[in-house]
Amino acid sequence: MFRVYSDRANWGKCLKLVVVAICVSSIASFSVVSMAEDQAPGTSLPKSTPESQGVSSKGLLEFIETADREVDSMHSFMLVRNGYVVAEAWWEPESPQKPHILWSLSKSFTSTAIGLAVEEGKLSINDPVLDYFPESSPEDVSSNLKAMRIRDLLTMTTGHQDEVNLRNESDWIKAFLAHPVPHKPGTHFRYNTPATFMLSAILQKVTGETVVEYLGPRLFEPLGIQFPQWDANPQGISIGGYGLYLRTEDIAKFGQLYLQRGKWNGEQLIPEEWIAEATSKQVSNGSNPSSDWDQGYGFQFWRCRHDAFRGDGKDGQFCIVIPEYNAAVAITANTRNMQSELNIVWDKLLPALSNSPLAADEAALKNLNEAISNLKASR
Q: Which domain holds residue 351?
A: 11-116+206-372
In a domain, 347, yes or no: yes
Using pLDDT thresholds of 50, 70 and 90, give the confidence band for residue 19.
very low
In a domain, 307, yes or no: yes
pLDDT, position 379: 60
pLDDT, position 23: 38
Report the domain count for the chain: 1
CB 294 within 8 Å of CB 305: no
Gap between the Cα atoms of 357 and 54, Å rounded? 4
In a domain, 125, yes or no: no
pLDDT, position 378: 78
Using pLDDT thresholds of 50, 70 and 90, give the confidence band for residue 92.
very high
The 10 Å Cβ neighbour count of residue 326 is 18
Selection from 379, 256, 246, 259 nearest residue 315 by Cα: 379
pLDDT, position 8: 37
Lowest mean pLDDT among 6-15, 31-40, 50-59: 31-40
Using pLDDT thresholds of 50, 70 and 90, give the confidence band for residue 374.
confident
In a domain, 190, yes or no: no
In a domain, 198, yes or no: no
pLDDT at 9 over 60: no
Gap between the Cα atoms of 64 and 89, Å rounded? 9
What percentage of the chain carries pLDDT values higher than 70? 88
CB 265 within 8 Å of CB 39: no
pTM of the shown model: 0.89
**pLDDT tens column, 179-205:** 999 999 999 999 999 999 999 999 999
Query: Please, which residues have CB within 8 angstroms of residue 134's CB and are 6 or more apart in sequence?
Result: none
In a domain, 148, yes or no: no
Using pLDDT thresholds of 50, 70 and 90, give the confidence band for residue 32.
very low
The full length of the chain comes to 379
In a domain, 169, yes or no: no
**pLDDT tens column, 283-310:** 999 999 999 999 999 999 999 999 999 9
Check which CATH number belongs to the domain holding 16 and give it.
3.40.710.10
CB 72 within 8 Å of CB 17: no
In a domain, 134, yes or no: no
